[in-house]
Structure 1
Amino acid sequence: MKSHKAYTLAGGMASPRQSMLWKLMIKYKYYYLLLLPGLIYFLVFKYIPMLGILIAFKDYKISLGVWDSAWSGVKWFRILFETEDFWIAFRNTIMISFYKLIFGFPAPIILALLLNEVFSNGIKRLIQTIVYFPHFLSWVVLGGMMFTLLSPSTGILALFDVQSSPVMQPEQFRSMLVWSGIWKEAGWGTIIYLAAMAGINPELYEAGRIDGANRFQLVRYVTIPSIANTIVILLILRTGHILSAGFDQVFILYNPLVYSVADILDTYVYRVGLTMGRYSLASAAGLFQSVVGLLLLLFSNWLARRMGGSGLW
């Protein structure tokens, strides 16, 4: 049988498995056509640029290009780990991401649970529109609004006789980042949770009411367990981005007064690479950030499966 299969493959004939795959592709050809733009996007903008990681192992010079620049091995990684600014940015990234994970991750879950309990569709749509809207505004717009609102001379703070803005105070800047991030993204994050709640079997709620459960008990024993897998998956994905604390937000809001608590790896890579022109060092920092994020993603998925969850794979 093995020799016959090898003979047919060598003779150009497809195996039964290959024939079945080809038939399925023909049958669902329009679905693959719809999928094609997304595949092209990831190929062009995600996978092909990965060749740029070679810069982290070379003494990159623009005049020579990536391929003709001299190899340097792990030289730039040694320099990176000996740089104090890198460790400051690393510490700030971990702290800001940790605060966002602790306070920001539960926010859309709580908001979705509250919206799910609103029986009036009109009121629910109104609330959803209000809480979704900040997501569609760029941090450039929101940053300008925050600078204006938090101004001690012309903003809301002037009504309370506050002399300095949180944007300018190192001890308050991280808290301001976390709460402004919740304001912008919590509403948008509820979409996935509301979709998961929409798939819950209504008979579970009816059985709970028959047993005398109140609304809080229904949320605790029916709603939350039913969306637990969705929560775990999104938590795993969020953990994989623990070293990405939000470049747009920090870059728009930070200033020299708060560099010591606000400079993160993303802004460090931008400043070192594009502003200072040290492309190899910036590439090394970016590669370190990506590798650590991948390891955290794998560890989170493994831990979720060990604890009885489904995980990503």
Structure 2
Amino acid sequence: MTKYTRQLSLLTSLLLVFPIWAETASYMSDSWAMLSSERPSGPRCVDIPTNLTICNGIQYKHMRLPNLLEHETLNEAIHASRDWESLLKLNCHPDTQLFLCSLFAPICIPSMDREILPCRSLCLAVKQGCENRMRNYGFPWPEMLSCQKYPEDNNMCIQQVNQQKATDISCPACNQVSTYENLVDQFCRSTLVLKGKVGKLSGTHITVRGGRSLKKGDRRRNVPETEIRLSSDYRDCPCRVADESDKRFLIMASNVADGQLTANLVLPWKKDKNFKRAIHQFQKLNCKSLGREIRESASRRPHYYAMRKHNTGRYTLF
């Protein structure tokens, strides 16, 4: 049983003392809610639709409407959530989906009137992991997600599941996802991008041999053997490439203050659609305008204008 499953079990157990389970049917009107064009007057439980893609695979099936962002219909929640799909695919924090779904599709327990909020620690952890990468493209952390709105940890809020500690021995560069968004983002953050084999491997460094540069304007077919540090703080960083030394890798790194290269991404070379799409895009990509293009893409969506018209302005994402 996962930590998150235990949280849900605890919430359910606490609610057993309330003698109002008979009212379940009045809340479970999900089919009516999806088909009706009118806005229901009170909170209700509905099935999480498959086209609310940021919550695909989340460990519960029913969400509360209106949600915590005051979307009163499924269509509102679905349209607004699309601006956050790219953030989720960046994999900037392992609990990003949990946090976003706690807002867009908050867990619904029929016998409970109050909302189940994300804990402040969950919000702060995701903000710490994702804010800098958002700012790289001109997206500040929006006021609508201010962590001060959420309670301190308790048994009635959604807690952080994946604790990221400074002493964690996992190696971020070697645990990147191969989504299109993450590959493009890492490409723009890196000064060196190579396709090559991993030669020497230690707890702190890898040596790339037979490398070919994929950076625009640097099409070297044979890059000299290159040593890359796996972690910026020189700690041991176990990278699982020892048994794959004969395979090609995609390796991205940046120059740091001391002049050494530090890895941002070390991934086996793949043949799937998103990986190929990203590699093909590398030679066309204008990293300076990438953030603007993302913002303009969001501004062209119909819900963007409607969200900006709210008097509070709380729906203005970026």
Question: For the superposition of Structure 1 and Structure 2, which TM-score range results when normalised by the shorter chain?
Answer: under 0.3
Point out the structure with the larger strand share. 2
For the pair shown, the structure with the greater C-alpha radius of gyration is: 1
Q: Which of 1 and 2 has higher RCO (CA within 8 Å, sep 6+)?
A: 1
Task: Give the TM-score of the pair, scaled to structure 1.
Answer: 0.23
Task: Give the TM-score of the pair, scaled to structure 2.
Answer: 0.23
Point out the structure with the larger helix share. 1
